[in-house]
Amino acid sequence: MFVTHLECAGCGKQFDPHQVAQLCPVCGRPLLVKYDLPRVKANLTKEDLASRPHNLWRYRELLPLADISHAVSLGEVMTPLIPLSKLAAELSVAEFYLKDEGLNPGGTFKSRGAAVGVSRAKELGVKTLAMPTNGNAGGAWAIYSAKAGINAYIVMPTGAPAITRSECAIAGAKLFLVNGLISDAGKIVSKAIKRHGWMDASTLKEPYRIEGKKTMGLEIVEQLKWQVPDVIIYPTGGGVGIIGIYKALQELRELGWIGEKLPRLVAVQAAGCAPIVEAWRRRRKESEFWPDSATVAFGINVPKALGDFLVLDALYQTDGCAVAVTDDEILSSQAEMARTEGLFICPEGAATLAAARQLRAAGWIKPHERVVLLNTGSGLKYPDTVRAEAPVLQPDDELPLEG
Amino acid sequence: MFVTHLECAGCGKQFDPHQVAQLCPVCGRPLLVKYDLPRVKANLTKEDLASRPHNLWRYRELLPLADISHAVSLGEVMTPLIPLSKLAAELSVAEFYLKDEGLNPGGTFKSRGAAVGVSRAKELGVKTLAMPTNGNAGGAWAIYSAKAGINAYIVMPTGAPAITRSECAIAGAKLFLVNGLISDAGKIVSKAIKRHGWMDASTLKEPYRIEGKKTMGLEIVEQLKWQVPDVIIYPTGGGVGIIGIYKALQELRELGWIGEKLPRLVAVQAAGCAPIVEAWRRRRKESEFWPDSATVAFGINVPKALGDFLVLDALYQTDGCAVAVTDDEILSSQAEMARTEGLFICPEGAATLAAARQLRAAGWIKPHERVVLLNTGSGLKYPDTVRAEAPVLQPDDELPLEG
């Protein structure tokens, strides 16, 4: 293992990586995993990767497992980076890609965090974990916990996507609903953890989920043959993905596998829940709680993210930006992506196309640039965002068409 | 292109592969694509594949495209062959795998047939196609047609999974429902095709869908390092997948990439719709229409398959068998797969686990054998097969647990 220590993203204090860790006991901020990157560099070349499995475990030197054979796997794949040829022409962008996380086990990017988080939890001897969720993370941690033999307690709002309940239930997780928001679920989980001594798998309250999400950044750069794109656009709720991608880019730079210049990172939020956008506009280091948040893109309905300061830092450090898009823009972008490119993406992912359109129109994205949209999940998990009305025929009818 | 001709699976008559072809105009049976395998062998080695993209297009010499750059792609991946370690121990089988087709675009194996079928249709200049479907094939052909710019008319029973309507609708297909079965949808499509001159994309009524499905067999063998398993268990409705896998095995044998011995192929059907099982028991060459068919596994509710004689031939030629499983067995196997292995598979896929258990108990599968289950799609497309009841809490509640 190339991990040296855990380090608080707030106060910088260092901690032992060989035992279960949660938030920094000093300042309450998230812990980040630190690696001996010079030693990684001496032990691994880009060329070594060519013959490895096409999934996130190929980056094992940059992952926190003591023994890669401890990986809890549900058949992860290297998700595709799909050229959007028609939309590139329409928006007038030189290179336009969708990183499609809908092809992960469970249909969302959450499986990356769960794969690494659960694997490390198992390696550290965890028997029971608990977490609040807006649905998809709960589903992902439930299925990986089932494979690992870990008990999972999952609490989600009654409004979370119904299919994510099915995932938790069929995988044998202990599932509870709450008449409220994810923050209410979080309070219930916190009390139970204190009482029972379980591991807290809440967003950023354990350090390994970021390491899983980081592999999205590693894959994008490897898939572009170790060149960085100019812009990566990311739908931002809790922000673990964008934090992970930024961490990946920093590590690749330190390894000398990419140059100094990083992609401009863009955080997209829904107009009905845009605390990061608001903070970015004011050049603040942290966001403020967004009251009465509402959006069809349930996964980014996060009024105040624990890692907001890390997201904002990533935007500032990369000359990125934050953009709000309306639910109407989200839904029309979702339909446009399916009609033109054949890709049925989730509303959160569709928000990135709406943002790209705004940024291109404003000249912030230039015609010669290479832009990557990150789709966090499959549209299959969101049946309610699509109106599918169709004529109903009788067996002896003909198709009601002219001609 | 290494295709030499199309050949009728019934009467053996040969046809030109360079124009749109449907059923054999002589005898009404499906056409199969034939390749110049000696020339493929001279031009391609197993080692050549190592550096190619990890998706079905890697087998381009065994696919029917004149130019691989014409491939219509939605980011296909080589789907994982997942070791089922806990179930292997429980059933006492030496090697036990799930080939998980749930990670395809659209969440099912149907995307393989659509990828190759739509690509070839586009290459041949098709502007409009139409098809009846039980849902998933329609969704797959809708999204690939959207990418290809082909008009797709899709007719499905009102009882087909709701999410597949959403797929068709959002991708811009012309969607119609019918108060009846897929056979009723088929009649409506046939009339429209005759009238409008569209391409008929119905199961086995064009020769290229099989070629896409064939790649499941190619991948399984390559993933096992060019060794064949002892048994492959496949949920059988229209049967294109098992026909395709058998065709793949025959081609690999002719290339000399595998030995003479083929895996025993097993067709699994639901007890409520088991025409192939019945025909196999009587050693018939064809099945009879199964009246009043019913099963929770909607995708294998096919009372009489056009390719039944090809499925039965594959079973007889490989010393395979056909097995019926009840809906109760299907649903309990689906739950067991999720609880033990963390895999949320579709009911059709779950039928293969129920069949494996039967065949192991009967001694037909031996303890030393290597068995592959084929899961045709993600459980995410079947929310109704899972009961997900959970206690509803108020924000100030505690988790209702003892201790």
Report d(CA B45, CA B330) in Å as an integer. Answer: 40
Report d(CA A36, CA A43) in Å as an integer. Answer: 11
Could you tell me if B89 lies within 8 Å of chain A, comparing CB atoms?
A: no
pLDDT tens sequence for chain A (403 residues): 999 999 999 999 999 999 999 999 999 999 999 999 999 999 999 999 988 999 999 999 999 999 999 999 999 999 999 999 999 999 999 999 999 999 999 999 999 999 999 999 999 999 999 999 999 999 999 999 999 999 999 999 998 889 999 999 999 999 999 999 888 999 999 999 999 999 999 999 999 999 999 999 999 999 999 999 999 999 999 999 999 999 999 999 999 999 999 999 999 999 999 999 999 999 999 999 999 999 999 899 999 999 999 999 999 999 999 999 999 999 999 999 999 999 999 999 999 999 999 999 999 999 999 999 999 999 999 888 888 889 999 999 999 876 4
**A282 CB-near residues (< 8 Å, 6+ apart):** none
Task: Please indicate whether, in this complex, the C-beta atoms of B170 and A379 are within 8 angstroms of each other.
Answer: yes
Higher pLDDT, B252 or B162: B252
Helix crossing, B209-223 with B110-123: angle to 10°?
130
The interface predicted TM-score (ipTM) is 0.96
* Amino acid at site A41: K
Report d(CA B321, CA B304) in Å as an integer. Answer: 18
Q: With a CB-CB cutoff of 8 Å, which residues 110-149 of chain B face chain A?
A: 143-148
Nearest to A170 among B72, B76, B386 (CB): B386
Kindly give the pairing relationship between strand A321-325 and strand A264-270.
parallel
Could you tell me if A169 lies within 8 Å of chain B, comparing CB atoms?
A: yes
CA distances, B189 to each of A117, A228, B127 (Å): 49, 48, 16
Q: What are phi and psi of B19, to 5 degrees?
A: -135, 160
State the pLDDT at residue A226.
97
Q: What are phi and psi of B88, to 5 degrees?
A: -60, -45
Q: What are phi and psi of B252, to 5 degrees?
A: -65, -35
Report d(CA B352, CA A324) in Å as an integer. Answer: 47
Q: What are phi and psi of B45, to 5 degrees?
A: -115, 160
Question: Mutate which of A165, A170, A375 to disrupt the B interface (most B C-beta within 10 Å)?
Answer: A170
Report d(CA A28, CA A117) in Å as an integer. Answer: 20
CB-defined contacts A:B, below 8 A: 260
Q: Which among A332, A328, A329, A351 has a CA at the least distance from the CA of A340? A: A332
- B45, with CB counted inside 10 A (0-12, 13-18, 19+), is exposed
Report d(CA B248, CA B244) in Å as an integer. Answer: 6
Tokens 């064009």 locate to B206
Q: Using one digit for the tens of pLDDT, what is the confidence trace for B127-151?
A: 999 999 999 999 999 999 999 999 9
Q: How many CA atoms lie within 13 A of B311 on its CB side?
A: 31
Nearest to A171 among B148, B339, B380 (CB): B339
As given in the structure block, the two tokens for residue A99 are: 């990183």
Report d(CA B327, CA B271) in Å as an integer. Answer: 7
Task: Give the ranges where B240-297 is alpha helix by DSSP (H).
Answer: 240-255, 275-281
CA dihedral A237, A241, A246, A250 (to 10 degrees): 150
Strand order in the sheet with A174-178: A199-200, A128-132, A151-157, A174-178, B392-393
Chain B environment of A107 (Cβ under 8 Å): 107, 378, 380
State the pLDDT at residue B403.
47
Contact B100, B83 (CB under 8 A): no
**B77 CB-near residues (< 8 Å, 6+ apart):** A54, A77, A78, A79, A80, A103, B54, B55, B103, B104
Nearest C-alpha in A relative to B115: A342
Tokens 């609708």 locate to B169
How distant is the Cα of A146 from the closest Cα of chain B, in angstroms? 5
Contact B278, B304 (CB under 8 A): no
Task: Please indicate whether, in this complex, the C-beta atoms of B82 and A100 are within 8 angstroms of each other.
Answer: no
Q: With a CB-CB cutoff of 8 Å, which residues 45-74 of chain A face chain B?
A: 50-51, 54-55, 72-74
Tokens 């949209």 locate to A373
Q: Using one digit for the tens of pLDDT, what is the confidence trace for B178-205?
A: 999 888 999 999 999 999 999 999 999 9
Task: Please indicate whether, in this complex, the C-beta atoms of B398 and A188 are within 8 angstroms of each other.
Answer: yes
Kindly give the pairing relationship between strand B151-157 and strand B174-178.
parallel
Q: Using one digit for the tens of pLDDT, what is the confidence trace for B19-41?
A: 999 999 999 999 999 999 999 99
Chain B environment of A375 (Cβ under 8 Å): none
**For chain B, percent of residues with pLDDT exceeding 70:** 100
Question: Mutate which of A193, A380, A398 to disrupt the B interface (most B C-beta within 10 Å)?
Answer: A380
Q: What is the mean pLDDT of chain B?
A: 96
- B384, with CB counted inside 10 A (0-12, 13-18, 19+), is exposed
Task: Please indicate whether, in this complex, the C-beta atoms of B147 and A386 are within 8 angstroms of each other.
Answer: no
Task: Please indicate whether, in this complex, the C-beta atoms of A178 and B100 are within 8 angstroms of each other.
Answer: no
Could you tell me if B294 lies within 8 Å of chain A, comparing CB atoms?
A: no
State the pLDDT at residue A287.
98
How distant is the Cα of A213 from the closest Cα of chain B, in angstroms? 19
Q: How does DSSP classify residue A121? A: H
Report d(CA A333, CA B383) in Å as an integer. Answer: 26
**A212 CB-near residues (< 8 Å, 6+ apart):** A56, A112, A113, A114, A115, A116, A117, A244
How distant is the Cα of B187 from the closest Cα of chain A, in angstroms? 8
Give the CATH number of domain B81-107+209-383. 3.40.50.1100
Contact A176, A154 (CB under 8 A): yes
Task: Please indicate whether, in this complex, the C-beta atoms of B342 and A153 are within 8 angstroms of each other.
Answer: no
